[in-house]
Amino acid sequence: MIQTLQQISTIADMRVHIQEARRQGKKIGIVPTMGFLHDGHMSLAKAAREKCDLVVMSIFVNPLQFGPNEDFERYPRDIERDRELAQSGGVDLLFTPEVTEMYPKPILTNISVSNVTELLCGKSRPGHFDGVATVVTKLFQIVQPDFAFFGQKDAQQVAVVTQMVFDLSMPVQIVPCPIIREADGLAMSSRNVYLSQEERSEALVLSRSLKQAEAWLAEGVALPEIQKRMIEMISAMPLASIEYVEVLRYPDLVPVEQPIPGESIIVALAVRFGKTRLIDNLITYV
Amino acid sequence: MIQTLQQISTIADMRVHIQEARRQGKKIGIVPTMGFLHDGHMSLAKAAREKCDLVVMSIFVNPLQFGPNEDFERYPRDIERDRELAQSGGVDLLFTPEVTEMYPKPILTNISVSNVTELLCGKSRPGHFDGVATVVTKLFQIVQPDFAFFGQKDAQQVAVVTQMVFDLSMPVQIVPCPIIREADGLAMSSRNVYLSQEERSEALVLSRSLKQAEAWLAEGVALPEIQKRMIEMISAMPLASIEYVEVLRYPDLVPVEQPIPGESIIVALAVRFGKTRLIDNLITYV
């Protein structure tokens, strides 16, 4: 039997499907996305397909998580192409609500997670993770998933959602999935489409610098020194403008002088090329 | 068959019961309380019993919703008595987690609801409704109720929870239940036990002033005038210290000069007698 994707755009419709799936004892997986799908998203769908009986992918460009001067309006959208990709990726239900369906009135409820949001993107994008935590909670309430799949490219998002699920005892297991990269190393992102050829070429410094950092970590180079060397490396690119480069303990995202063996370390960066903000990271044991 | 109450103190145990109930297609109702049960709580249990197949009552004195100078420590507790009352009130599962079970580590996630928390208790107890919204969400995640029963005595709490459920599309229906009063009019509250005989006697002014307000509303007296008269009436009591007396539109809790016919109005008050803070209210159509 060929599996057929169903596209659903209202919360009420989704509830009907979820109730039926629950009644049948199906394990439900959700892959929350903002659409304009790439292989990173597809790897999440694949992981969900392997673990769950019903795979729900949401496509929702969530205005709550964009700052006033960010790219909410111009964020790339292509629902036709997304639908085909979702179908071929084994998604059962594609949830594509309009903003007015998700927020029929101005939303008065806000969810915030402290500590893990203090640095990195939490620092440079105030309110961003409140928007993420709030919409993810809302999606969880609608879809009632047993598993939720998130890409490690947004490592801080994974940390925030994991903390929230723990704190609120949400009956869902967060499944972080590895970063998927282009052949030349660039981390896949819907925003890569913004890049000019020159910017795209210079942006390879990001994954290169992370690979270097991994080697330096293995050699035992001090964390502040690694940070310094990476900043030098990236700054050498004429079009690059660094927002942050941080080496922190993972998953609590706090600065440490020198890691204790057995701890995880995240090397994380956000760099602008022209108007395009890219993030990338590497998580490793030491 | 005599129904037997089961007391459960861990989240993991509760999940086992809830999963089984869900599998059987049972309708689940929750009555969230802080214990020291009185007839107000029992009326909620009764409403839940009538509407649901599985009635869960939680007893948890939630530290998050108490301010630093409030009565968290001395809040009255009597779990033996509560268990007997819950049993006789038709409760199936009594959820009595310790603080360390609900918050094994300091909780980093906070839920806040704006607008409806600006006045009344939200103004005089900063952070209180964040604590309420957060713990109610956590209880909803653990118990996964179809219905949740709240007393209208905490009218602003009902407004906050209703707003949150709407905003986050929580799959639960909030059922507000009427205030239950002692024979002489005093609204039932676990905190009434704090009152001295003299305070208890003076506190009757609260329900009396609300009854008066209802009559004045019916006569078309202007809202600010009603507020003024109530303040005079209550201030006449030597032991009374008014925290607020407000006449607002319900359920959005905003001040209005004169209500439009068909709108609901809440007359709400918080008054201290000695160290004891009492609240009461009246909701009426005009």
Indicate the SS3 state at residue B113: strand
**A246 confidence band (pLDDT: 50, 70, 90):** very high
Indicate the SS3 state at residue A144: coil
- A102 assigned ligand-binding residue: no
Interface probe with A: pick from B140, B169, B170, most Cβ of A within 10 Å? B169
Query: Rg (Cα) of chain B, in Å, rounded?
Result: 19
Give the up-direction half-sphere exposure of residue A272: CA atoms within 13 A in the CB hemisphere: 8
Intra-chain end-to-end CA distance of chain A, in Å = 47
CA B229 – CA B216 distance, rounded (Å): 10
Question: Which candidate, A53, A56, A5, places its Cα nearest to that of A32?
Answer: A56
Q: Are B153 and B269 in contact (CB under 8 A)?
A: no
Mean of all residue pLDDT scores within chain B: 96
Task: List the single residue in B with minimal CA-CA distance to A172.
Answer: B141
Q: Are A245 and A234 in contact (CB under 8 A)?
A: yes
Are B168 and A22 a contacting pair at CB < 8 A? no
Give the up-direction half-sphere exposure of residue A159: CA atoms within 13 A in the CB hemisphere: 26
ipTM of the modeled complex: 0.96
Residue B110 forms contact with A (CB below 8 Å) = yes
Interface probe with B: pick from A111, A113, A144, A146, most Cβ of B within 10 Å? A111
> Mean pLDDT over residues A52-81, rounded?
97
The predicted structure's pLDDT at residue B186: 98
Question: Which candidate, A71, A44, A119, A74, places its Cα nearest to that of A281?
Answer: A119
| φ and ψ of A57, to 5 deg | -115, 130
Interface probe with A: pick from B109, B118, B134, B173, most Cβ of A within 10 Å? B109
Task: List the single residue in A with minimal CA-CA distance to B106.
Answer: A167
CA B256 – CA B159 distance, rounded (Å): 17
Question: A-B interface: how many C-beta pairs under 8 angstroms?
Answer: 73
Q: Taking the alpha carbons of B203, B241, B223, B252 in that order, is the dihedral positive or negative?
A: negative
At A194-226, the pLDDT tens digits run: 999 999 999 999 999 999 999 999 999 999 999
> Mean pLDDT over residues A6-18, rounded?
98
The partner residues of A173 in beta bridges, in order of sequence, read A147
Question: Of A15, A110, A171, which has the smallest distance from its Cβ to B15's Cβ?
Answer: A171
Does position B198 have pLDDT exceeding 90, yes or no? yes
The predicted structure's pLDDT at residue B262: 87
Are A15 and B171 a contacting pair at CB < 8 A? yes
Question: Which candidate, A38, A14, A16, places its Cα nearest to that of A30?
Answer: A14
Has B41 been annotated as catalytic?
A: yes
Per DSSP, chain A holds a count of helices (H) and strands (E) of 10, 10
CATH class as words, domain B190-285: alpha beta
At A15-53, the pLDDT tens digits run: 999 999 998 999 999 999 999 999 999 999 999 999 999
Report the topology of domain A6-177: Rossmann fold (3.40.50)
At A152-192, the pLDDT tens digits run: 999 999 999 999 999 999 999 999 999 999 999 999 999 99
The single-letter DSSP state of residue A181 is: B
CA A88 – CA A5 distance, rounded (Å): 9
- E strands in B16-146: 28-33, 54-59, 93-95, 109-113
Residue B144 forms contact with A (CB below 8 Å) = yes
Are A113 and B111 a contacting pair at CB < 8 A? no
Are A113 and B112 a contacting pair at CB < 8 A? no
Kindly report the CATH number that applies to the domain delimited by A190-281.
3.30.1300.10
Residue B260 forms contact with A (CB below 8 Å) = no
The predicted structure's pLDDT at residue B257: 82
Question: Which candidate, B138, B165, B29, B169, places its Cα nearest to that of A18?
Answer: B169
Question: Of A109, A113, A171, which has the smallest distance from its Cβ to B109's Cβ?
Answer: A113
Are A141 and B116 a contacting pair at CB < 8 A? no
CA A237 – CA A235 distance, rounded (Å): 5
**B21 confidence band (pLDDT: 50, 70, 90):** very high
Query: B27 CA to chain A: closest CA distance, Å?
Result: 13
At A111-134, the pLDDT tens digits run: 999 999 999 999 999 999 999 999
Domain boundaries, chain B: 6-177, 190-285
- Which A-chain residues 8-37 have CB contacts (< 8 A) with chain B? 11, 15, 22-23, 25
Quick one: tokens of A259? 């890691």
Helix A128-143 × helix A11-23 angle, to 10°: 50
Question: Which candidate, A7, A10, A21, A15, places its Cα nearest to that of A141?
Answer: A15
Q: Strand B147-151 to strand B28-33: parallel, antiparallel, or no bridges (unpaired)?
A: parallel
Question: Which candidate, B172, B157, B162, B87, places its Cα nearest to that of B122?
Answer: B157
Chain-centroid distance of CA A200 in Å reads 20
B231: left (phi over 0), alpha (psi -120 to 50) or beta: alpha
User: What percent of chain B clears pLDDT 90, i.e. is strictly above it?
Assistant: 94
CA B178 – CA A56 distance, rounded (Å): 40
Residue A142 forms contact with B (CB below 8 Å) = yes
Residue A255 forms contact with B (CB below 8 Å) = no
Does position A2 have pLDDT exceeding 80, yes or no? no
Q: What angle do CA B129, B127, B155 make, to 5 degrees?
A: 25
Q: B17, B41, B138, B277: which one is catalytic?
A: B41
Residue B66 CB contacts under 8 Å (≥ 6 apart), including other chains? B72, B75, B128, B131
Does position B1 have pLDDT exceeding 80, yes or no? no
Task: List the single residue in B with minimal CA-CA distance to A109.
Answer: B113
Q: A41, A125, A138, A277: which one is catalytic?
A: A41
The predicted structure's pLDDT at residue B2: 58
A79: how many CB neighbours lie within 10 A of its CB?
14
Quick one: tokens of B78? 């009597």
The single-letter DSSP state of residue B181 is: B
Are A169 and B110 a contacting pair at CB < 8 A? no
At A84-112, the pLDDT tens digits run: 999 999 999 999 999 999 999 999 999 99
Are B141 and A168 a contacting pair at CB < 8 A? yes
The predicted structure's pLDDT at residue B232: 98
Query: A156 CA to chain B: closest CA distance, Å?
Result: 15
Query: A170 CA to chain B: closest CA distance, Å?
Result: 5
